[in-house]
Amino acid sequence: GQNIDQPTEMTATEGAIVQINCTYQTSGFNGLFWYQQHAGEAPTFLSYNVLDGLEEKGRFSSFLSRSKGYSYLLLKELQMKDSASYLCAVMDSNYQLIWGAGTKLIIKP
């Protein structure tokens, strides 16, 4: 079956760095997405990786290793507004998005 695993919840301190991991097992691979979702709102796109390596975009970076079925989202200089759920999603061979359950990130002052 298809499976996406990510931690349920993480806590970090304002100004610090946090890494959210995601491992996946899917039928085929056409890219991995990270989305941010604030409570009661729809997800917003953060990053897309289809090749191995690190993609940096401001305070956020995303890494992919296809051979290991592994990705992480790195958030630097954490701000209180970064408190949200972070969803990892993999696009399978049918171009369907397979979603992880999300990681709730709690930022403390």
Partner 1 sequence: GAVVSQHPSRVICKSGTSVKIECRSLDFQATTMFWYRQFPKQSLMLMATSNEGSKATYEQGVEKDKFLINHASLTLSTLTVTSAHPEDSSFYICSARATTSENNEQFFGPGTRLTVL
Residue 33 lies near partner 1 (rule: CB under 8 A): yes
Residue 41 lies near partner 1 (rule: CB under 8 A): yes
Contact residue for partner 1 among 48, 60, 66, 74 (CB under 8 A): 48
Instruction: Specify which residues 3 forms β-bridges with.
Output: 25
Contact residue for partner 1 among 16, 17, 54, 101 (CB under 8 A): 101
Q: How far is the CB of 99 from partner 1 (least distance, A)?
A: 5
Neighbours of 48 (CB within 10 A): 14
Element (H, E) at 85: strand 84-91
Q: Which residues contact 55 (CB under 8 A, 6 or more apart)?
A: 47, 48, 49, 61, 62, 63, 64
Rounded CA separation 45/26 (Å): 21
Residue 54 lies near partner 1 (rule: CB under 8 A): no
Residue 51 lies near partner 1 (rule: CB under 8 A): no
Q: Which residues bind partner 1 (CB under 8 A)?
A: 30-31, 33, 35, 40-45, 48, 50, 87, 91, 95-97, 99-102
